[in-house]
Structures are given as C-alpha cells and as structure tokens.
C-alpha cells in the first residue's frame, strides 16, 4: 500500500480500506489512485475477507479530481478514465469488487469521490459532511459514471438536482429529503459500518459473491456505454473557455 491508502482487518473477515492523503484532502492524486487499486486487488485476492469498508480520514471521504487533472482534461491531454488499458478506474472499484463494499462516508464526498462512494453496495453518510456532484459548477457535464449511479442509488429526482444544479447538500439535509441510506453523526459512521460488515462476515463468502454478482450485473453491464456517453459529452462541454476560467477561480472554494 502507499502511505495514503492502508488496509487493516478491524474484525475477522472484514477488510478496511482507509484513504488518508491529508496533504491533498483525498483528491484523486496518482498516489491515491494507485493505492486504491492495490488495496482492492489485495483484498479481492484474500479469501478470508467477506466484506470491505471504504472510508476516509477526519472530515474528508474523497474529494474527486485534482484541479491539475481537470485542467489537463480541458486541454485535451487526459480524460477521467485510467490511462493504461487494464488499469482499473478507481471510481468503479467498489462496484467491481466481488465481495460487498460499504462506503463509510464519514467526511465530505465531492464529484468523482461521491460517485465512487455510491458505487458501493452499502452507503452510510455523515450528518455534518457535505455531498456534492459539483461538475456543472465548473461548466462541464458529469463523469465517473455519475449519470448512471446517481439515479440508480438516489432516485431520479434527487439525482437530477445533484447533477444539473451542482449544489451542495449536508448529510442532515439529505436525511430530511429521505435519502435511502443511514445518516449518522460523523463519530458514529465507522461503528455503524463495522456492525454491518460483521453481519455480512457471518455469511459464506461464496454466497455473498454470487448474490452480489446477481444484484449488480445490470449496473456493471450498463456502465461501459454510460462512460462512452459521458466522454462524448465531455468532448463538447469540457473544452469551453469558461470551464478553464471557472476551474481557476472556483476550484476548492
């Protein structure tokens, strides 16, 4: 593991992947992406594990793309897809993982970081944290599979509000809106995830793998076409001059 991503075993049969790039607030830096890829590969290869908890540090879960990467996409030098064929895309690692994944989003989840969290099988939110799909805040259409996973996991009405407006929600507000996930005080999110993971770890691994494969088959099958459509929209929306101006003036604000 890199220093910014660690794997621990807090309970028998439960792996905990912790993102803790405090210098970069868990944005998708090269170190974080590489660490996530290695962490999930390690967990998937160890048949002792029956459930995975994905979490962050302090008040940050995952902050999505770095400004440098977004500017590279604007300049036509990159995309949100992994550069090397065969390299997993970090945002879909929870979906592709064969065993159930719990996103313990104890902290802020922004853009692609929120998309990654929603690709998990279970989601636990924090009342104090902010959750935003802020792509349109910068003038470009959403990526990271968010146009499919948001409606699938949040319902169409709330997904449209997230994606079209780019607005920010507190976890407490999402609870009032009836979001279909537990919303806990930040200090209780990881404990709730551990309790859920322990209940999963009581089941046979093979049964968990087969049932998850059945439940997520449609989403897995649909995702490549969705990504193609998102990339096509980026070809139209990402290279507008306003996008660069907004990234330089608003990113991180």
Of 151, 66, 81, nearest to 111 by C-alpha is: 66
- Cβ 217 vs Cβ 65: under 8 Å: no
The single-letter DSSP state of residue 137 is: G
- Cβ 101 vs Cβ 148: under 8 Å: no
**What CA–CA distance (Å, rounded) separates 220 from 234?**
22
Q: Which of 74, 108, 214, 234 is catalytic?
A: 234
**What CA–CA distance (Å, rounded) separates 240 from 245?**
9
E strands within the chain? 5-11, 14-19, 51-55, 60-62, 101-105, 108-110, 122-126, 130-132, 168-170, 183-184
Residues 6+ apart with CB under 8 A from 169: 130, 131, 132, 162, 177
Our answer to whether residue 214 is catalytic in this structure is: no
- Cβ 133 vs Cβ 154: under 8 Å: no
CA 54 to chain CA centroid, nearest Å: 9
The single-letter DSSP state of residue 252 is: T
The single-letter DSSP state of residue 181 is: S
Which residues carry out catalysis? 234
């Amino acid at each position: 593991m890199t220093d910014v991503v660690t794997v621990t075993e807090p309970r028998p049969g439960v792996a905990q992947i912790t993102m803790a790039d405090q210098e970069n607030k868990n944005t998708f830096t090269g170190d974080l992406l590489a660490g996530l890829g290695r962490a999930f590969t390690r967990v998937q290869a160890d048949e002792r594990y029956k459930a995975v908890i994905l979490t962050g540090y302090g008040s940050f879960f995952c902050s999505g793309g770095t400004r440098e990467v977004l500017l590279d996409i604007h300049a036509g030098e990159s995309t949100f897809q992994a550069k090397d064929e065969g390299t997993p895309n970090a945002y879909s690692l929870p979906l592709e993982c064969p065993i159930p994944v719990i996103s313990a989003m104890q902290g802020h989840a922004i853009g692609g970081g929120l998309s990654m969290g929603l690709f998990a099988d279970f989601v636990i939110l924090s009342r104090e944290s902010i959750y935003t799909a802020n792509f349109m805040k910068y003038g470009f259409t959403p990526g990271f599979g968010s146009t499919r996973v948001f409606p699938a996991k949040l319902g169409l009405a709330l997904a449209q509000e997230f994606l079209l407006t780019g607005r920010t929600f507190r976890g407490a507000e999402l609870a009032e809106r009836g979001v279909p996930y537990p919303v806990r005080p930040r200090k209780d999110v990881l404990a709730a995830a551990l309790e859920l993971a322990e209940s999963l770890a009581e089941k046979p691994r093979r049964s968990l793998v087969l049932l998850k494969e059945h439940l997520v088959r449609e989403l897995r099958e649909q995702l490549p076409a969705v990504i193609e459509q998102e990339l096509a929209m980026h070809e139209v929306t990402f290279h507008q001059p306003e996008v660069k101006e907004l990234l330089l003036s608003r990113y991180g604000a």
